[in-house]
Structure formats: structure tokens, C-alpha cells
Amino acid sequence: MNKDTRLSDVLHVLLHLGQVEEPVTSDVLAKYMGTNPAVFRRTMAGLREAGYVTSGKGHGGGWQLAVPLNQISLLAVYNALGQPNLFAIGNRSIHPDCKVKKNVNAIMADTMSQAEALFVKRFGEITLDSLMPGNP
């Protein structure tokens, strides 16, 4: 099963942007993500709409952080990416009257809900500046 690496890829790009003052082109940043510039721009659109990055066209254009890394949480980036699926685990939906299926689905839904709440809490506590090399 393929894993969704957008969050990791975008974090990599944002940390690099945090190290420079001048705009960086989509071509350069797409290479960090291992993709092409068009896919890169689509991936970054949510972050631009959320106000975490800006982009400019033409000569001297490119991508820049709009806010400092210490004002961006992992949760904010996750949300700006459209909240990619956390888990590939799902519930069965056939035989809706089966009591066993109902019990299994209920405990799985509760467990997944608790795991997601922990994820959201922890990601809300971590800012991007803490991911920079040399920071605790």
C-alpha cells in the first residue's frame, strides 16, 4: 500500500524556506519533494490559502514563508493539506444488522477516534521551528 508522504514532503519544504530570505522557485522546491513543479504548486495551494506561504510569478518570483516557523504547527500544515487520512483501517458496511459487525465497528470507531484526538493534540503542540536541526 502506498503511503501519503505529502505532510512529510511539505514539512521538508517549509523548513528549507525557513532558512532563506529570498523567494525559491517551484522548480527547486519540487526537487525537494521529488515531484514536478505543477504537482508541487497544487500541493502547496492549501498552505498559500491558509496564509502560511506566499508565491510570486515571473523573474524574482517564487515561494516564501508568510509567517515564522514558530507560528506554524504540524496540525496547521496537516489541516492546510486537507487532513490526509491518518489510518487505512475501515469498518465493514455489508450486513448492517449483524450484531458482531456492530460491536466490532463500534470498538474500532471509538479506538480510531481516541487515536485521532491524541494525534491532533500532539500535532497542535509542535511548531515547525522545533523541527530545525539543532533545536530540541
103-110's contacts with Cβ under 8 Å and 24+ in sequence apart are: none
Q: Is residue 41 part of a domain?
A: yes
Q: Is residue 136 part of a domain?
A: no
Based on the structure, what is the number of domains in the chain?
1
**Residue 43 CB: number of other CB atoms within 10 A?**
19
pLDDT at 63: 97
- CB burial readout 83-98, b (16+ within 10 A) else e: eeeeeeeeeeeeeeee
Residue with cell 495551494: 45
Q: Is residue 1 part of a domain?
A: no
Domain of 22: which CATH number? 1.10.10.10
pLDDT at 134: 81
Q: What is the DSSP letter of 60?
A: T
What is the mean pLDDT of each successive set of 10 residues along the chain, which is 136 residues long? 83 94 94 90 95 91 96 97 83 79 88 92 97 81
What domain range is 90 assigned to?
6-131
Q: Is residue 58 part of a domain?
A: yes
pLDDT at 1: 57
